[in-house]
Structure 1
Amino acid sequence: MKSDITIPPVLPANPASVRPGVAGAQEFKLLSPLNGLISPGQTAQAQVLSLKQGDASFQLLLNLTLEGGRQTNVQVSSLQPFALGTLLTVSPSSAGSLAINLQQGVSGTSAPLTRLDLQQLPVGTLLQGKVLGSYLLPQTAGQPAVYRSLVSVLNTAMSTRTLTLDSPQPLRVASLLSAQVEDAHTLSFVPLSGRQDQLALAQQLAAQQSRQGSLQGLLSALQKLPPGDNLSAPLRASIDTLLAGLPTAPQLSNPALLKSALLNSGAFLEANLLNGQPQSLNVDMKAALLRLIAQILPGTPANPNFSSGIAASTQAQAMPTFVRTALGMLGQISAKPQYGGFPLPQRTLHSSDGEDSLQTLLKLAAAALSRLQSHQLSSLEQSTRTADGNLLTTWQLEIPMRNAHDIVPLQVKFQREDPPEKDAQDSPEVRENKDPLWRVELAFDLTPLGPLHVQAQLIRGNLSGHLWAQRVFTAELITSQLGHLRQRLNDAGLTVTDLDCHQGTPPQGAQSPLEQRWVDETA
């Protein structure tokens, strides 16, 4: 359920009571007496234990550490909020007041934001935060209840800043939440179901990663099957059709054949079926693998490993009852594990002792199917909104192609980054900057060139590209041909801004520009 939260105006502090470099007033007003615990001229260390917002000030509970290690708690009021855990040095300044000094290195105590800067946080940006305090505002007869909360921002350029939010439901203190920017004064909660999907995706990717195997392993095994092997006629026909449909590298240079290979790679099978295109079952790679598995199964004994893999997949989709505990743990992970990524590593399965040929084919086909599903799940994981509000859509897939007598998997990833929708009031320069940005990555291993990786991006006809070859002589060969490649790209109507080749592998970084680890536990 979508619920809006608003950012109310915050009462400004008295300028005379605020000094640069110290977030908050110079003095706390004591709400409980010190009873001589600190003598004038002495200091004590204080830590903020709790925070509650009043009409014009904040009430804090401080834990004081006195000389000799003795500790006590005192209640004070402040014109500005201080995040839980903030460390301060305090000393008596006058009757009923404490002078404060914010210890160096502590952040997050700036005055709450009264509005969002849409230049830094465009509409659609996902904000993640932690609730520091929440209370019920005085109610007016006949009006719905409004709860005011202080939330510390955990991501984006506003990280460590605080927001004062009004919401129709209370936000539990110390809970984590996710919300999207609607406008300068409004956020909308991201439903818990979206975070459940995130967890289900992570679980599925972890399971697929352990089960998947290279398409090359299955296809090579199918090529090596002896003609007289005891296979059923339908199974043999399916194998022949699958191998005959593999394109060659020269064929993939034809735009029409390349488009067909991409669409039939298995990445779009479910989408085609939902759109009423059952004809894709005849040529789609994933459909062919499913058909192959269905034809192999009747001729094999019970396979516990394959059955347990199916059960694990079903369990991951069913969402276990402890989902809230697991979701809460996501917020405590310092770095999100990457199960997919690009390119997927080559993984070859070996037959076990006592397995017949059909059992081996079944294992290889199931592993190849898991590999295609890993590409699909990786595409979903990387499709998100960036920190600046752009919509990032990812398509990751794999095309097996013939290279002489070998089968070479060509891994492909497309990404389209769309800025927020154009506004009629935008200037021509702003509208131009809102054109989509395309990124393309290729990874393959051709004999005798060895492993190759290509990255390119295209915006408004301007193309930049980088190539990596692991073998030295291949990198030197490609470098010598870059001028010819640049000319062919220019002839195709593109403006090449940057084109180079490196020996080695591309630098590895985060696969997703936005870490979506935080959840709204109050939904």
Structure 2
Amino acid sequence: MTEINSLGAQTALNTQVVKATMTGDLLRLLQPQPGVVAEGETAQAEVLSLRQVGQTYMMLMRLSANSGQQTQVQTSASFPLPQGSQVSVTQTQNNELALVVQAGKANNVATLTRLDTSQTPVGTLLQGKVVTTQALPQNPGEVASYRSLVTLLSSSQAGTTLTIDSPRPLPVGSLLSAVVQGDQSLRFVPLSGRQDQLAVAQQLATQQSQQASLPGLLNALQQVARSPDTGAELRASAERLLASLPQARELADPKTLTQSLNNSGAFLEAKLLGGLAGSVAPDLKAQLVRLVAQLPAPPAGTLASPTLVASTLAQAVPGFARNALGMLGQFSPRPQPGAFPLPSRLLQALENEGDLQQLLRLAAGAVSRLQSHALSSLQQSGTLENGNLQTSWQTEVPIRHGQEFIPLQVKLQREETPEQKAGREREPEQRDPLQALWRIELAFDLAPLGPLQVQAQLAQGRLTGQLWAEQERTARLIDSQLGTLRERLLARGLDVGDLECFPGTPPQGPRTRLEQRWVDETA
């Protein structure tokens, strides 16, 4: 645990200003500038940037004289003033500026010594860059303590500076990730061998704001497949994509279900990295990217490539989608990253069968939707607070149901102890999948039942589950059939625990337990 010091919001740095004046410590100009401040006058100074070199602090400052003239000067000092600090100075010699104590006390010093938890609630993950570190005076027998200035790079307070006390010096220039524990405490997140989750979260927010639901595109592709004016190559791609979608009744076959999940787009990048480019042809995301490549690019876009071979698919996702979407992301609210299920978002349907520009936007939105699922999987995979390892797979399978397309959203999670993971990797042929804790979530909207969500958990061979129906009459119907469902599960050899059905939607609490896999590295 690393504590943020409990001094008042302006006291910490202003104390240094007072001390510097009392001891005669000055701001030294790196280049002498005679008359930068007129004799007998003071100027307002704002710190534009701060950099530590050894025990010296280099600051770029903007001086505003009473006449209104502004000058930027490079200074050095033995004490730091954070970026954004405003003080008053007067010039003593050609290469020195003295701080004015009275103005230094009154003016704003842009540093925080406690967090506003209304802006950064407990559980928020912050990332910042260490700007300065200095040892604090200590009495004999006391534990050493260090004070650092850290500029926040994320959250609503990005750009502000934190004053942090820690039991060891923080390397200047290093990137830190920490979870908010309270208004004066942070828990730093250890090094991670995976990608930076901050980048994942930022990219996820972008993709979710651009995504569009799959049924809109699939309905449009039916129009394209029926239109005699559609080009042969585009019509063939549309027909091939539609033919690859499973019927609802076919998912009762475990092999068909496995194949549908495998071709849902969730594993496209893994197939390409594994050298399995020949197996990506039926993959939904691969087909969508090929479709985007065949459609005419928007006037300001860069989608001029007429073909897209398997070897370049990995670089095309999600670049094609971002370029094709254009202004879409600017007009839609951003959903909470990592939420399940992914909210539906419908774009305007094709006005006519030749509206290929709109078809391009629908296809690009569908790619972004599948990419959102993939990024959500990454965001929710990592080490939990109890030390267990969690792996998530989230995807979406469009299903044919008569003349309609029903998107089935699926999230699978495996949680295991480090010992179980080590044993699985050491003896994969003898591993028991039931040793791990498995969770599955399903979300779909099936007429006339309405939106449904299923949450099930399999632990040590025992299955428990909850179902949620937004329509109350559907909830009552399902509740009346839970006895039959239990009998069928028992007949399959499962040990069945509690099965319940509730009206409404599952509660969505704060998701903070998975925010531990953040990178801590030297910039």
Report if TM-score (shorter chain) is over 0.5: yes
Equivalent residues in 2 for 1:190-339, closer than 5 Å: 190-191=190-191, 197-225=196-224, 227-297=226-296, 302=299, 304=301, 310=319, 338-339=336-337
SS at match of 2:343: coil
SS at match of 1:451: strand
- CA shift, 1:259, in A, is 0.2
Q: Distance in 1 between matches of 2:209 and 2:189?
A: 34
1:439 aligns with 2:439: yes
Contact 2:379 2:514 in 1 (8 A): no
Relative to 1, partners in 2 of residues 1:240 and 1:312: Cα closer, same or farther, differing over 3 Å?
closer
1:396 paired residue number: 394
Q: Distance in 1 between matches of 2:199 and 2:368?
A: 16
Q: Distance in 2 between matches of 1:421 and 1:358?
A: 54
Relative to 1, partners in 2 of residues 1:174 and 1:260: Cα closer, same or farther, differing over 3 Å?
closer
Contact 1:440 1:457 in 2 (8 A): yes
Paired residue type of 1:290:
V
Equivalent residues in 2 for 1:90-109, closer than 5 Å: none
Q: Deviations over 1:385-411 (max 9, x none)?
A: 111111111100000001111100000
Q: Deviations over 1:171-199 (max 9, x none)?
A: 569995569xxxxxxx99845996x7222
Contact 1:466 1:501 in 2 (8 A): yes
SS at match of 1:344: coil
Contact 1:306 1:366 in 2 (8 A): no
TM-score w.r.t. the length of structure 1 is: 0.57
Give the share of equivalent positions with the same residue, in percent.
52
Contact 2:409 2:442 in 1 (8 A): yes
Which of 362, 385, 388 does residue 387 from structure 1 map onto? 385
Q: Distance in 2 between matches of 1:127 and 1:303?
A: 36
Q: Distance in 2 between matches of 1:473 and 1:189?
A: 46
Contact 1:442 1:453 in 2 (8 A): yes
Contact 1:468 1:502 in 2 (8 A): yes
SS at match of 2:344: coil
Paired residue type of 1:345:
P
SS at match of 1:414: strand
Q: Deviations over 1:308-337 (max 9, x none)?
A: x949959xxxxxxxxxxxxxxxxxxxxx98
- CA shift, 1:519, in A, is 6.4
- CA shift, 1:489, in A, is 1.0
Q: Distance in 2 between matches of 1:238 and 1:311?
A: 17
Paired residue type of 1:373:
Q
Relative to 1, partners in 2 of residues 1:485 and 1:171: Cα closer, same or farther, differing over 3 Å?
same
Paired residue type of 2:284:
M
1:376 paired residue number: 374
Q: Distance in 2 between matches of 1:173 and 1:278?
A: 41
2:38 paired residue number: none
Contact 1:178 1:519 in 2 (8 A): no
Q: Distance in 1 between matches of 2:407 and 2:6?
A: 59
2:118 paired residue number: none
Which segments of 5 or more consecutive residues in structure 1 lack a partner in the other structure? Answer: 1-45, 50-59, 64-71, 73-125, 137-146, 153-161, 180-186, 315-335, 425-431
Q: Distance in 2 between matches of 1:275 and 1:350?
A: 38
Q: Distance in 2 between matches of 1:481 and 1:436?
A: 29
- CA shift, 1:204, in A, is 1.1
Q: Distance in 2 between matches of 1:492 and 1:463?
A: 12
Equivalent residues in 2 for 1:35-114, closer than 5 Å: none
Relative to 1, partners in 2 of residues 1:416 and 1:149: Cα closer, same or farther, differing over 3 Å?
farther
Relative to 1, partners in 2 of residues 1:174 and 1:495: Cα closer, same or farther, differing over 3 Å?
same
Equivalent residues in 2 for 1:365-514, closer than 5 Å: 365-421=363-419, 435-514=435-514
Equivalent residues in 2 for 1:76-225, closer than 5 Å: 135=135, 171=171, 176=176, 190-191=190-191, 197-225=196-224
Relative to 1, partners in 2 of residues 1:218 and 1:170: Cα closer, same or farther, differing over 3 Å?
closer
Q: Deviations over 1:324-364 (max 9, x none)?
A: xxxxxxxxxxxx98324210111001159899511111111
SS at match of 1:282: coil
Relative to 1, partners in 2 of residues 1:452 and 1:439: Cα closer, same or farther, differing over 3 Å?
same
Q: Deviations over 1:186-218 (max 9, x none)?
A: x99845996x72222122112111211001110
Q: Distance in 2 between matches of 1:353 and 1:498?
A: 49
Relative to 1, partners in 2 of residues 1:293 and 1:213: Cα closer, same or farther, differing over 3 Å?
same
Relative to 1, partners in 2 of residues 1:352 and 1:506: Cα closer, same or farther, differing over 3 Å?
same
- CA shift, 1:280, in A, is 2.2
Q: Distance in 2 between matches of 1:340 and 1:306?
A: 29
SS at match of 1:439: strand
Q: Distance in 2 between matches of 1:177 and 1:468?
A: 36
2:343 paired residue number: 345
2:74 paired residue number: none
Contact 1:134 1:170 in 2 (8 A): no
Contact 1:265 1:285 in 2 (8 A): yes
Q: Distance in 2 between matches of 1:198 and 1:506?
A: 26
Q: Distance in 1 between matches of 2:404 and 2:446?
A: 9
Q: Distance in 2 between matches of 1:390 and 1:134?
A: 37
Q: Distance in 2 between matches of 1:390 and 1:413?
A: 19
Contact 2:127 2:176 in 1 (8 A): yes
Q: Distance in 2 between matches of 1:393 and 1:287?
A: 24
SS at match of 1:267: coil
1:25 paired residue number: none
Paired residue type of 2:271:
N
SS at match of 2:418: coil
Relative to 1, partners in 2 of residues 1:311 and 1:411: Cα closer, same or farther, differing over 3 Å?
closer
TM-score w.r.t. the length of structure 2 is: 0.57
Q: Distance in 2 between matches of 1:248 and 1:355?
A: 25
Q: Distance in 2 between matches of 1:417 and 1:212?
A: 29
